[in-house]
Amino acid sequence: MGMLWWRSCVAKSMLSPASPKSGLKNFLLQRYRRWLNRRLPPARTIVLEQRRLFIFPTRQGFLFALTLLIMLLTAINYQNNLAYGLTFWLAMLFIVAIHFTHANLLKLEITGVRAESVYPGQHAEFCFRISCSRSRQGYRAVKLVWPGSEVLVDVPAGGEIDVSLHHKVTARGWFSPPRLRIESTYPLGLLRCWSFAYFDVRALVWPQPIRVERLAFSSAGKAGYDLSEQEGLDDLMGFRDYRIGDAPRLIDWRSHARGLPLQTKLYSSLVDEDNWLDWQDFPAGTVEQKLSWLCWLLLQHHSRGENFGLRLPELELPVAAGDRQRDRALRALALHDLNGESAG
């Protein structure tokens, strides 16, 4: 118990946001973060053990204490034993509430299940699974908080529940979510029990697609190709069975209306062996710009159901089509030239 309080005090005192100007504060904040990281290392699954939990009265808790003080003064001044009794009863209720609030997070198990890949500027969805291994008592009103996103859940005894939180992402590459705060004031709202957790779950952030009008320069000396829509598609080569992921405008709706199964139209460009998206095609532009252009182009290819291959300085994706190809290409672009990260 004593440890609990001490820890909560330390945590509280170090929680205040530090201004970047103050060197000492910054230093302390860094120390605190390092301490917290050591104390609460990132993991896939986190069980909220005793040592991870902090507890401290809420604002309402202090107001309650003030009420009790007034009640005690009333009891003393009126020498009223029943008023004493009620005051002590409520004061001890507060002690009981410490245990109940603490127990409402203790042994809670959280697993970072998966994260959605997104483009910069979007909100990545992180999915967590919260489970309760206790057989008698579930968890109630548990709040998971990120800056800008929070979720309140109840977990039944012996059960589990999936929740998702969103976080805005800005830069290409792997996005590691910030420290998640898990807290609860249940049952009385007089105390807040909380814990922090880093999860070993990352979201892949693809490059921002940027429309590119025409490939002005081509390393192979070929004429640059323009995939803008007004150009239309090349000659119709034939049909094949519809596959999930084929662009709607490549589907032969006319035959489908006649009652035939879905067919996808094949154009000559789709089988063009030269559908390579090549890093070398863009001698000008920054790395990010090139990635963004390639990204836009590959999405164009994919939306039309075309085959494409990708050549980056460090790897080459053979020509293929479909969602899988798109995802591999996007991943390669997202992780291009990020030190320490492999495209694997």
Partner 1 sequence: MISGEQLPRRSLLWLIVCQIAVMLPHLQRIPLWVVAVYLAAAIWRLQMFRQRAEMPGKWLRLLLGLSGATLLFMSYGTFIGLEPMVALLLVAAALKLLEAIRERDGYLLVFLGFFICVTHFIFTQTLPATLYSLVCTGLLVTALIALNQSPGVGLSNHEPLLALKMLALAVPMMVVLFFLFPRIGPIWSVPSKSGQSITGMSDFLRPGAVTKLGRSAEIAFRAGFVGVIPENSALYWRGLVMSQFEQGAWRTLQWHEMPEVERKPIPPRVLAEPMRYRVVMEPTQQRWLYGMAYAESPTAGVYEATDYRLGVINPIEFQFGYEVSSWPKALMQPNLSDWRRRLETDFPEGLNPLTEAWVKDLREQHADDRNFIAALLSYFRAQPFYYTLEPPEILSADFVDKFMFESRRGFCEHYAYSFVAMLRMADIPARIVAGYQGGEVNPLNNTVVVRQFDAHAWAEVWLVGEGWTRIDPTAAVAPSRVEFGFEAAMDGQPGFLSDSLLSAYRFRGIRALDWVRLRYDVLAFGWQSFIVGFDSTRQIELLKGWFGEIKVSWFVALLLGSWAAVLLPLMLWLNRQRSVSLMLPEEQRFSALCRRLEQRGCSRALGEAPLQTLRRARDHLPEADPLYLALEGAIADLYRR
Interface ranges with partner 1 (CB under 8 A): 44, 59-60, 63-64, 67, 70-71, 73-93, 95-97, 99-100, 103, 106-107, 111, 113-114, 133-137, 140-141, 150, 152-154, 158, 185-190
Nearer to partner 1, 147 or 224 (CB): 147
- Find out whether 189 and 58 touch, Cβ atoms under 8 Å: yes
Question: Which H, E and C letters describe 95-116, residue by residue?
Answer: HHHHHHHHHCCCCEEEEEEEEC
Q: CB under 8 Å to 307, separation ≥6 — which residues?
A: 270, 271, 272, 275, 301, 319, 320, 321
Q: How far is the CB of 322 from partner 1 (least distance, A)?
A: 20
Q: Which two structure tokens, joined as six digits, stand for 158? A: 């012996």
Nearer to partner 1, 72 or 287 (CB): 72
Burial of 264 (0-12, 13-18, 19+ CB in 10 A): middle
Q: How far is the CB of 109 from partner 1 (least distance, A)?
A: 11
Nearer to partner 1, 160 or 323 (CB): 160
Nearer to partner 1, 42 or 189 (CB): 189
Buried b (16+ CB within 10 A) or exposed e, 13-32: eeeeebeeeeeeeeeebeeb
Q: How far is the CB of 13 from partner 1 (least distance, A)?
A: 17
Q: How far is the CB of 101 from partner 1 (least distance, A)?
A: 10
Q: How far is the CB of 119 from partner 1 (least distance, A)?
A: 24
Whole-angstrom CA distances from 194 to 7, 108, 252, 294 are 11, 11, 57, 45
Nearer to partner 1, 79 or 339 (CB): 79
Q: How far is the CB of 87 from partner 1 (least distance, A)?
A: 7
Q: E strand or H helix at 166, and its extent?
A: strand 160-168
Nearer to partner 1, 180 or 190 (CB): 190
Q: Where are the beta strands (DSSP E) in 34-132?
A: 45-47, 54-57, 108-115, 123-132
Other C-beta atoms closer than 10 Å to the C-beta of 330 total: 22
Question: What is the C-alpha separation between 177 and 253, in angstroms, rounded?
Answer: 43
Nearer to partner 1, 1 or 236 (CB): 1
Nearer to partner 1, 105 or 319 (CB): 105
Q: How far is the CB of 63 from partner 1 (least distance, A)?
A: 6
Q: How far is the CB of 107 from partner 1 (least distance, A)?
A: 6
Other C-beta atoms closer than 10 Å to the C-beta of 322 total: 15
Burial of 327 (0-12, 13-18, 19+ CB in 10 A): middle
Question: What is the C-alpha separation between 88 and 117, in angstroms, rounded?
Answer: 55
